[in-house]
Each structure stands twice: as structure tokens, then as C-alpha cells.
Amino acid sequence: MYTLNDVDWKHVVILFGTPALALVGFATVPLRTATFWWAVAYYFFTGLGITAGYHRYWAHRSYDATRVWQVILMAAGTGAVEGTVKWWSRGHRIHHRFTDTEKDPYNAKRGFLWSHIGWMIIKQKKNATVDISDLSSDPLVAFQHKYYLPLAVFMAFIFPTLVAGFGWNDWAGGFFFAGVARLVFVHHATFCVNSLAHYLGEFTFDDRRTPKDHFLTALVTLGEGYHNFHHEFPADYRNAIKFWQYDPTKWTIWFASLVGLTYNLKMFPANEIEKGRIHMMQKKLDDIKKTLDYGVPVEELPVLTFSQVKERISETGKQLLIISGVVYDVSKFMDDHPGGKGFLRAAVGRDVTASFNGGVYDHANAARNLMSSMRYARLEGLVPEASVSRED
């Protein structure tokens, strides 16, 4: 059980104070059309600051960027009030290294609520280390870390208010909707990467850990919903690899590269990505196969010599024939054989591999699958020439 001392009150104030304040705004201030669209635009701007900036640039270094781009994304991400680049990226690198374990700050195995918001409300011990030397040595990152509080207040509340105030004289709307309510939406949208993206969807590339791929999560998280891909290939600047999949974060980074703001966009080789996908497809097929009866595996069958096969036929009356070194019991199949009883009866006590494979008729998969349920024994040694069918 947690006590009040375990609670991170600073985070509680931000996470619960902003929705309460947003409700006050909805109840008291009319939402003007211009303010609505400004709030939506600012939602995307600050959200992309987290996804294209904090996440794909600083935490994963999945592409290179000019200082101008870094400043734009840092300003945007600061307006999302999710902590400094240094704090956020450190936690995120730990999350990738220790996914689903006790050391993972947003460990999805502790439940949806924990991974969504609980991990910020309850103070956590620093029990994992990860290399953030690149962030520690970056003066821009250090500047943001040092002046975070005034920067965050300005970008989250003052700037959106100034735009709506000076723009169309809606100071209160700018504050409540583009500032506070927008912040609540950005928060929960990006928190869904830690929660929803570990619960909803498919294990496209790996099923050893919880991250999953789902279009709905991508829709909510500015494209971060192809999370199984992301955990497999975190250094890839994309989350969605198909052109029809929703990943506005990838599009933003790519468009920025057209004007030289970003460059060296990293992509994992398509061949390796496909190997991962095929691996999971194979696994699913194997699971389906386990639900079907494929008879006794050949290597587990008893071993008989040709003369023992002959003895069995005369002693038990079983209708045994040999195809490709395996003895089949066709006793119950005689009347149902689509090729007729005659062929099978004539095949009893003989090696009819050649006839079965085209000598008489080249059997389709249906026959080959059906045969597995008729396996009787494995043949050891040779079959006398006179008992072997020919290609005629």
C-alpha cells in the first residue's frame, strides 16, 4: 500500500488541476470558432513537440536535426508540460531497456491505470541506469532543464492566451481552451502511448513484450500507435511503415527534411522488418496447426521391416501399403478412395511411391494431408524389387 508520502503532489496538481480548470472554462466561457481551431492547431504543435521531438529525436535519435528544428520542437514539447527533455528521455530509454519489468517506469504489467498515469502520481525510486551522456552534454537541453518552470508556464498557458487575445480578442478562451483544455488532451493522448499501445492491437513483429500495433492508438497518439514496430525498431524515425497508415509525426519529420531542417532519417532495412513479420505469421500458423490432427509424427512411429509388414497384413487383415518409407493403413479408406477401390487393393503389401506421385496419378494436397491420419509405421530396410510400383 502507498502512503501520502509516496504521492508526487507536484504531478497530482498538474494532472488533476488542469482537467478541473478546463471544466471551469467550459462552464463559464463561450468557445469561439477561431479559438477552437487555434486550440486544435496548438494541440498538434505541442503534441508533435513530444512525439517528433522528445520521443523520436531526443530519446531515440532516430534522425538528425538542425538547431532551428530543435528549438522549434523544444518550444513545442515544453508547451505539453511533460517534464524536461532530459527527464523524459531518460525515463523513456529506461522503459525501452527494461520494458515490462519492475525497472520499467511505465510497466504495463502493473495495469492500464499505472502505465497511463499512476507512475507519475506515485514517486519512483531511481533503480535503473541508462546512458544519457548525449543529453547531458547538449547546451540546449541543459538550458531547458534549468529554466523549465517559467518556460513551461509561458508555452503552455501564456503563449496560447496571447495569440487568441491579440489575434481575435478572446483572452479567456485562449487561456481555457488553447491553454488548459488543449493541455489535458495532449497529456492523455501521449499517455496513451504508455497505456493503450501496450493493451490494444497486434503483435506484428514480436510477442515477447506487451507493445502492440493498432490504428486507433495511432489516431489518438499522432502516429505512435504502431508500438510493436517501434519497440522492435526504436531507431527507425517511422512508427508506421505503410503509406496508408496514420503517422503524422513521421510525415512532419519527412516534410522538414525537404527543407533541410531534418536529415539522416534512419530506417531499419526492409528485409529485416519483413523477417520479423514473417516470424510472427509463422508463429500464428503453427498455433492454428496445433488445433488440427496431423496424426502421429513420422519419427514417433514404430519401425517395421518389409517382411514384418507382410506378416501384419496376413495376421491382422490390415490393408497396409508403403509410400516414401512410411507404412499406411488404408483399411477404412478403401470404400472412400476417390480413385476407386481397385487401385488401393492392388497397392496393399507394396511400395507404391511412384504410382502415388504420378506413375498412376499425381495426388493433390488433399490426399497428402489425409494420409497423415493413416500412418501406421516407419519402414526399415529395402522393399523387394517385385513389390515396388513403377512409373507406368
Binding status of residue 330 toward ligand HEM by CB under 6 A: yes
Give 149 or 364: the residue with its C-beta nearer to ligand HEM. 364
Give 66 or 373: the residue with its C-beta nearer to ligand HEM. 373
Binding status of residue 192 toward ligand HEM by CB under 6 A: no
Is residue 228 within 8 A of residue 203, CB to CB? The reply is: yes
At 146, list the grid cell.
534549468
- Stretch of residues binding ligand HEM (CB under 6 A), selected from 10-18, 118-126, 251-259, 343-351: 343-351
Secondary structure class of 247 (helix, strand, coil): coil
Binding status of residue 294 toward ligand HEM by CB under 6 A: no
Residues 45, 191, 268, 356: which binds ligand HEM (CB under 6 A)?
Answer: 356
Residue nearest to ligand HEM (CB): 339
Residues 135, 193, 360, 377: which binds ligand HEM (CB under 6 A)?
Answer: 360
Alpha-carbon gap, residue 375 to 147, rounded angstroms: 76
x-marked contacts with ligand HEM along 367-386 as a string, rule CB under 6 A? x--xx--x------------
At 378, list the grid cell.
516407419
Binding status of residue 366 toward ligand HEM by CB under 6 A: yes
Q: Using the structure block, give the residue that is written with the C-alpha cell 501520502.
A: 4
Q: Give the Cβ contact number of residue 243 at 10 Å.
A: 6
At 198, list the grid cell.
501496450
Which residue, among 81, 181, 188, 93, has the nearest Cα to 133 in the 3D structure? 93
Alpha-carbon gap, residue 136 to 214, rounded angstroms: 34
Considering the complex, what minimum distance in angstroms separates the CB of residue 373 from ligand HEM?
A: 9
Q: Give the Cβ contact number of residue 25 at 10 Å.
A: 17
Which residue, among 378, 390, 383, has the nearest Cα to 328 in the 3D structure? 378
Residues 113, 324, 361, 381: which binds ligand HEM (CB under 6 A)?
Answer: 361
Binding status of residue 388 toward ligand HEM by CB under 6 A: no
Residues that bind ligand HEM (CB under 6 A): 328, 330, 337-339, 343-344, 347, 352, 355-356, 360-361, 363-364, 366-367, 370-371, 374
